[in-house]
């Protein structure tokens, strides 16, 4: 397998360090708009000739297509933010390569009823092209990070092995991470965090389909395992709600994120001030007016999440809560994956959140390379058997857990 990895930020760099310990691929081209970042990711793996660095603009579909062809890559792994999903997705198809991402094409709220009805949903643009991929026998594996990704694998595992009937699947994400020296320092890409937290959250219900609610709705306190404890979680827009119902029978699907009160209020303030907007505004500059995106300014003012590992303490938990019946009796479980920042820093030099995101697409690539997973079209993680993935994740040294509720 020959892989083009686009994006050498925190997650992309973690992908290279995880993949370097595996033998399933023959080459990985690490590409970024900033050649220094790609070169740094490769330089951290001295002596491994499988890795090479390239410069590419992820938004330039033609340039990415040419890069795929020049290096004869079989698959493109997208480690950029969601703005670049469609050009990379389309470049892979144009080059005859497979495609894997960790987030899906962006949504657009309903023009008149944003908190009741869906407009353009996450992934709609990709699923609209599913027939083309299937016709060509090509695979686009979408939403294959940790959330979405591993959380969807957990949903499939629950349906296959743990339940006869599922009433509700709820993704629940929480952490007790702190960053020394920072009162506000998101542990993941702030551009993506603002996008998913301030957009109308989507809920799925059987008979009603997908619908939206107000941001931060339906707060609940969820008790996370391995010492993390109770965290307030709220509805957030996320890909799992759009993916799980396509392949897993459940009467209700939700995603709730353990943001914490202070984080929620900060995001609300950004929205109130218009600093969450992506459309450029004109501001004075030393050489005249300059057009800048308010959200890009916010991102530039905050520390790079990839650099926070040394000052970060605590654990992050991604998981899937499932309620239903088995053998006629009620059952409720929480399937989860916890990463301790101290462990991920000592073992890989990567902070916990980016490492936990990065390990899952690497596991998926190995399953695709070995033939344990195969398919054609635009498919989510739920479309594949869960057990091979969960077994291989444990082999990577990062086991998952299950708690009866």
Residue 263, pLDDT > 90, answer no
Pairing assessment for the beta strands 139-141 and 315-326 based on DSSP bridges: unpaired
More confident residue, 197 or 57: 57
Under the banding of pLDDT at 50, 70 and 90, the label for residue 180 is: confident
Q: Is the peptide bond before 36 cis (omega within 30 degrees of 0)?
A: no
* % of the chain at pLDDT higher than 90: 82
Return the pLDDT at 254. Answer: 98
183 vs 37, which has greater pLDDT? 37
Whole-prediction pTM: 0.92
Cβ proximity of 178 and 312 under 8 Å: yes
Q: What is the pLDDT of residue 276?
A: 87
String of DSSP letters for 113-164 = -TTTS-SBPTTHHHHTTHHHHHHTT-EEE-S-BTTTBHHHHHHHHIIIII-S
Residue 39 CB coordination number (10 Å): 17
Angle between helices 61-70 and 85-95 (to 10 degrees): 40
Determine the pLDDT at residue 188. 64
Residue 400: helix, strand or coil by DSSP?
A: coil
Cα distances (angstroms) measured from residue 274 to each of 78, 119, 208, 300: 29, 21, 33, 16
Q: Is the pLDDT of residue 362 over 90?
A: yes
Q: In the chain, how many H helices and how many E strands?
A: 14, 20
Indicate whether 210 pLDDT > 80. Answer: yes
pLDDT greater than 80 at residue 146: yes
pLDDT at 119 over 90: yes
Residue 281: predicted pLDDT: 93
Q: H or E element: which one contains 76?
A: strand 75-78
| Per-residue model confidence (pLDDT) at position 37 | 97
Determine phi and psi for 77, rounding to 5 degrees: -110, 115
- Checking if the pLDDT of 271 tops 90, the result is no
As a whole number, mean pLDDT of residues 201-230 equals 96
For residue 9 the two structure tokens come to 């930020």
**For residue 267, pLDDT beyond 90:** no
The CA radius of gyration of the chain, in Å to the nearest whole number, is: 20
pLDDT digits over 337-357, tens only?
999 999 999 999 999 999 999
Distance CA 342, CA 57 (A): 34
Q: How far apart are CA 129 and CA 138, in angstroms?
A: 12
pLDDT of residue 187: 66
Tokens of 400: 């998952």
CA dist 230 and 274 (Å) reads 32
Q: Residue 9 pLDDT more than 80?
A: yes
Distances in Å between the alpha carbon of 333 and those of 149, 181, 405? 18, 37, 5
Give percent of the chain above pLDDT 70.
99
Please answer whether residues 372 and 143 qualify as being in contact, where contact means their C-beta atoms are separated by less than 8 angstroms.
Answer: no
For residues 115 and 215, what is the distance between their CA atoms, to the nearest angstrom?
8
345, 385 in Cβ contact below 8 A? no
pLDDT in tens, 274-286: 988 889 999 998 9
61-101 confidence digits (pLDDT tens): 999 999 999 999 999 999 999 999 999 999 999 999 999 99
pLDDT value of position 234: 93
What is the residue-averaged pLDDT of the chain? Answer: 94
Contacts of 127 (CB under 8 A, 6+ apart): 378
Q: Which two tokens stand for residue 206?
A: 């059987």
In 3D space, the residue among 126, 76, 84 whose CA is nearest the CA of residue 242 turns out to be: 126
**Distance of alpha carbon 332 from alpha carbon 325, whole angstroms:** 8
């Amino acid at each position: 397998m020959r892989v083009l990895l686009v994006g050498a930020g925190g997650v992309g760099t973690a992908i290279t360090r995880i993949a370097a310990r595996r033998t399933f691929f023959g080459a990985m081209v690490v590409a970024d708009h900033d050649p220094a970042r790609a070169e740094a990711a490769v330089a951290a793996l001295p002596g491994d000739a499988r890795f090479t660095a390239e410069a590419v603009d992820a938004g330039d579909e033609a340039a990415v297509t040419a890069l795929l062809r020049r290096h004869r890559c079989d698959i493109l792994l997208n480690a950029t933010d969601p703005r670049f999903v469609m050009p990379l997705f389309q470049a892979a198809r144009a080059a005859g390569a497979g495609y894997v991402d960790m987030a899906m094409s962006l949504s657009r709220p309903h023009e008149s009823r944003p908190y009741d009805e869906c407009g353009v949903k996450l992934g709609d643009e990709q699923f609209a092209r599913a027939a083309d991929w299937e016709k060509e026998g090509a695979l686009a594996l979408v939403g294959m990070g940790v959330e979405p990704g591993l959380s969807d694998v957990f949903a499939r595992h629950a349906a296959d092995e743990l339940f006869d009937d599922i009433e509700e699947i709820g993704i629940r994400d929480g952490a007790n991470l702190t960053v020394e020296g920072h009162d506000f320092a998101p542990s993941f890409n702030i551009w993506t965090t603002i996008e998913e937290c301030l957009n109308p959250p989507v809920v799925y219900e059987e008979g009603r389909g997908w619908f939206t609610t107000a941001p931060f709705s339906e707060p609940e306190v969820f008790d996370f395992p391995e010492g993390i404890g109770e965290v307030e979680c709220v509805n957030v827009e996320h890909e799992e709600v759009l993916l799980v119902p396509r392949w897993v029978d459940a009467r209700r699907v939700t995603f709730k994120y353990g943001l914490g009160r202070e984080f929620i209020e900060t995001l609300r303030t950004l929205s109130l001030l218009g600093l969450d907007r992506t459309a450029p505004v004109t501001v004075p500059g030393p050489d005249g007016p300059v057009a800048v995106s308010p959200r890009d300014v916010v991102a530039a003012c905050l520390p790079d999440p990839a650099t926070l590992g040394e000052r970060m303490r605590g654990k992050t938990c991604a998981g899937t809560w499932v309620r239903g019946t088995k053998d006629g009796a009620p059952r409720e479980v929480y399937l989860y994956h916890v990463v301790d920042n101290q462990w991920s820093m000592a073992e890989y030099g990567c902070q916990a959140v980016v490492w936990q995101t990065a390990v899952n697409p690497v596991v998926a690539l190995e399953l695709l390379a070995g033939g344990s997973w195969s398919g054609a079209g635009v498919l989510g993680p739920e479309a594949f058997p869960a057990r091979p993935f969960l077994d291989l994740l444990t082999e990577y040294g990062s086991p998952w857990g299950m708690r009866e509720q």
